[in-house]
Amino acid sequence: MKRRTFLHKLGAGTLAAGGTLAAGCQPQDQGSPGSAPTARSETFQWKMVTTWPKNFPGMGTGANYLARIIGEMSGGRVQVRVYGANELVPPFEIFDAVGRGTAEMGHGASYYWKGKSEAAQFFSAVPFGLTGQEMNAWLYHAGGMELWEEVYAPFGLVPTAAGNTGVQMGGWFNKEIHSVQDLQGLKMRIPGLGGEVLRRAGGTPVNLPGGELFTSLQSGAIDAVEWVGPYNDLAFGLHRAARYYYYPGWHEPGTTLECFINRKAFEALPPDLQSIVKNACKVANLDMLSEYTARNNDALRSLVDEHQVELRRFPDDVLATIRKMSDEVVAEIADKDALSRKVYESFLAFREQAMAWHDLSERAYLNARGS
Ligand code: CA
């Protein structure tokens, strides 16, 4: 009898909670018509500014996809309009634009913002750092995301991971790279920490937005370019401006792309929409990595078989030397400020454990599968 009484009470309680919930969907203030709409009927019109050319394969279309699924998942309560590079603000000004609320969201890569915070670079790509799979593991399950939030908090931004390119290519060159000496004097578009490593090797790193790469390379304003990988590089026609296509992309082994959100705009959303926006970013993060993995090889075959691109692997001793330089460059970021040290230490500790595990999982398996 006691159990039945308990269940009865529980049922009544559940009904009461359901009733309250249902009432929440109705105008709560039946006695005062004309008041503000309830949370569930309010809609939000957001702008997303991007560093990518509008509709650019992979990254631009990834931003479009994210905007679309936020609209779908929220039943139209959050509508996001995407702006390509320069449509609303120049590509490298989106960080400030979203911080001040000109747009609610920005789609880019965190290493573009090293001038704002040195630590930001860890959340896109670190030379000889984490692969795409490992980046997601660090961000979602090993403290990386919390650190990223801490780094972006002073700028009024909430960061999310919203895409990953997987391992990139080493770049486009008009001369072959036989030794580290061949990097000396080389003027190359290569952003972030990879650029700093090139500087250490005697080259001159240049940071240019994607839309300017082809003309800069073709005119000879720069000697070499790294952009992403076959799927994106083919779309830009970089094979028409350079002869040699090098691998592996030591400088960007699994670049995370980001969608950062204006904190005030994010906090103005009811909790269910906050969850939808954050989880939509997670879906977009997965989707982009899947897309690159699916498309890159076909694009590579097209570059080699149809466009006669000459594929080259960086020599082992070049990779070994720049690996050593990379470790030095990355370690020096830790000396810049306390937060950079904290991020560096977390990153380094995670890389150690990822290397140990992947040595006998991914690497052992790939070796066993053979070529
Ligand atoms: Ca790149």
- Are residues 49 and 162 both part of a single domain? yes
- Are residues 194 and 327 both part of a single domain? yes
Strands 187-189 and 157-158: unpaired
CA–centroid distance, 5 to ligand 1, in Å, is 65
- Are residues 269 and 191 both part of a single domain? no
Q: Angle, to 10 degrees, between the axis of helix 271-301 and the axis of helix 132-141?
A: 170
CA–centroid distance, 190 to ligand 1, in Å, is 7
Q: What is the pLDDT of residue 84?
A: 96
CA–centroid distance, 356 to ligand 1, in Å, is 26
CA–centroid distance, 193 to ligand 1, in Å, is 11
Q: What is the pLDDT of residues 59-117, one digit of tens each?
A: 999 999 999 999 999 999 999 999 999 999 999 999 999 999 999 999 999 999 999 99
Q: What is the pLDDT of residues 132-149, one digit of tens each?
A: 999 999 999 999 999 999
CA–centroid distance, 292 to ligand 1, in Å, is 13
Name residues whose C-beta falls within 8 Å of residue 309's C-beta, 6 or more positions apart in sequence: 239, 243, 244, 245, 303
CA–centroid distance, 194 to ligand 1, in Å, is 9
- Are residues 196 and 314 both part of a single domain? yes
In whole angstroms, give the CA distance from residue 69 to residue 259: 14
- Among 293, 317, 352, the domain boundary falls at 293
- Are residues 154 and 62 both part of a single domain? yes
- Are residues 311 and 323 both part of a single domain? yes
| 370 belongs to a structural domain | no
CA–centroid distance, 263 to ligand 1, in Å, is 28
- Are residues 80 and 136 both part of a single domain? yes
In the chain, alpha helices (H)? 2-25, 59-73, 94-99, 132-141, 144-152, 192-200, 213-219, 230-236, 263-267, 271-301, 316-333, 338-358, 364-369
- Are residues 276 and 127 both part of a single domain? yes
| 5 belongs to a structural domain | no
| 8 belongs to a structural domain | no
| 354 belongs to a structural domain | no
- Are residues 59 and 107 both part of a single domain? yes
Do residues 102 and 94 lie in contact, with contact meaning Cβ atoms separated by under 8 Å? no
CA–centroid distance, 349 to ligand 1, in Å, is 24
The number of beta carbons lying within 10 Å of the beta carbon of residue 311 is 12
CA–centroid distance, 123 to ligand 1, in Å, is 14
| 22 belongs to a structural domain | no
Which residues span the domain enclosing 180? 171-249+297-332
- Are residues 316 and 175 both part of a single domain? yes
- Are residues 180 and 159 both part of a single domain? no
CA–centroid distance, 191 to ligand 1, in Å, is 7
| 220 belongs to a structural domain | yes
Q: How many domains does the chain have?
A: 2
CA–centroid distance, 353 to ligand 1, in Å, is 25
CA–centroid distance, 227 to ligand 1, in Å, is 4
CA–centroid distance, 156 to ligand 1, in Å, is 27
| 66 belongs to a structural domain | yes
- Which CATH number covers residue 158? 3.40.190.170
| 72 belongs to a structural domain | yes
The number of beta carbons lying within 10 Å of the beta carbon of residue 295 is 17
- Are residues 222 and 309 both part of a single domain? yes
- Which CATH number covers residue 182? 3.40.190.10
Q: What is the pLDDT of residue 275?
A: 98
Strands 256-262 and 161-164: antiparallel
Written as one string, the DSSP assignment of 96-159 is HHHHTTSSSEEEE-GGGGTTT-GGGGGGT--TT---HHHHHHHHHHSSHHHHHHHHHGGGTEE-
The pTM for the full model equals 0.86
CA–centroid distance, 256 to ligand 1, in Å, is 11
CA–centroid distance, 124 to ligand 1, in Å, is 10
Strands 161-164 and 78-83: unpaired
Low-confidence ranges of the chain (pLDDT < 70): 1-40
Q: What is the pLDDT of residue 38?
A: 54
In whole angstroms, give the CA distance from residue 251 to residue 115: 19
CA–centroid distance, 226 to ligand 1, in Å, is 6
CA–centroid distance, 228 to ligand 1, in Å, is 4
CA–centroid distance, 255 to ligand 1, in Å, is 8
SS3 state at 204: strand
Q: What is the pLDDT of residue 154?
A: 98
DSSP 36: P
